Amino acid sequence: MVRIDLGATPGTSLRRPDELAAEEPLEIRVRKQPLAVTMRTPGHDIDLAMGFLLSEGLIAVAEDVTTAQLCAGTDTPNTYNVVDIVLGAHVPAPVTDLSRNFYTTSSCGVCGKASIDAVRTRSRFDVTADPLRVPATVLAGLPDQLRAAQRTFDRTGGLHAAGLFTADGRLLVLREDVGRHNAVDKVLGWALREGRLPLAGHVLMVSGRASFELTQKAWMAGLPMLAAVSAPSTLAVELADEAGMTLVGFLRGTTMNVYAGVERVTV
C-alpha cells in the first residue's frame, strides 16, 4: 500500500503494509440444499447463519435446529466457507427454487426475493406492550461503548458493528462485520443459541444507519428498541411504528432523534 499525504510540505508518499478487513463468501445450506450466499467477515459463522434463518422467519428457537456445522467448501486451500444446517423434522423446509434464493452483499443485504410481499416478514413476537424504558443519558453512552469494543475496527477501519445492550446500558455481546446486516445476524444468532429470545427489554445498537432490513431483523428477535449512529430510512420508520418498536437515529454525543416509540426514551 502506498500512502499519499498532500498535506505534507512537500507532498509525500510512503509505501507501507496495511491491515484490511476480511471479506469472503459464506454459503448457507439447509439440509444440504443451498439457500443463501452472503459476503461477510469470517468469524461467528454459525451465529450468522442461525441469525439469518431467524430474521427470515424460518426458525424461532434454537431447538428448531438439529445441527449446524461449518463445512469444507470447494476452494483450494479450503476456506470452510459453507455452513450446513439441519432443521428439526417439525420445521418446514425453506423454498429453495432459483426464483426465491437469497443473495446478500456486504452493502445492501438481502436481494433478489421473488416478490415485494416476500421482503416483509412478520415477527411472531409482539413488542407493542414491552415496558422497556431507557434514560436518554444511557442511550447517549451506547455509541462510545460500541466503538470501544470494536477491536477489529481499530486495526482496519472497515467494519460495522452491532451490540446488544440491557436497559441500563450494559453491553452483552458485540459483533463486527463488513456487512451491517451480518453483524446484526451474528448478534441475533448468539441470542438464539443462548435461549434469550424474545429479546424483550433490550436495545440493539448499530454503528451505521437504520435500514428497513435492520429494523425488521430486530423485530423478528422481539427487540423493542433499535438505535443507530446514522439516519433511518422512511421504510424503517414506518415498520418501527407499525411494529410498536422504538427507533432512535443520529445518536451522537448528547443528541439523538427518536422517530418512533418516543415513550420508551425518558429525559
108 is an active site residue: yes
Contacts of 140 (CB under 8 A, 6+ apart): 251, 253, 254, 256
Q: Are 59 and 50 in contact (CB under 8 A)?
A: yes
User: How big is the CA angle at 38 (ends 217 and 211), to the nearest 5 degrees?
Assistant: 35
Pinpoint the alpha helices (H) of 101-179: 116-119, 136-148, 151-156
Neighbours of 191 (CB within 10 A): 26
Interatomic CA distance for residues 163 and 143, integer angstroms: 9
Q: Which residue of the set 4, 95, 108, 119 is catalytic?
A: 108
Interatomic CA distance for residues 175 and 151, integer angstroms: 10
Q: List active site positions.
A: 108
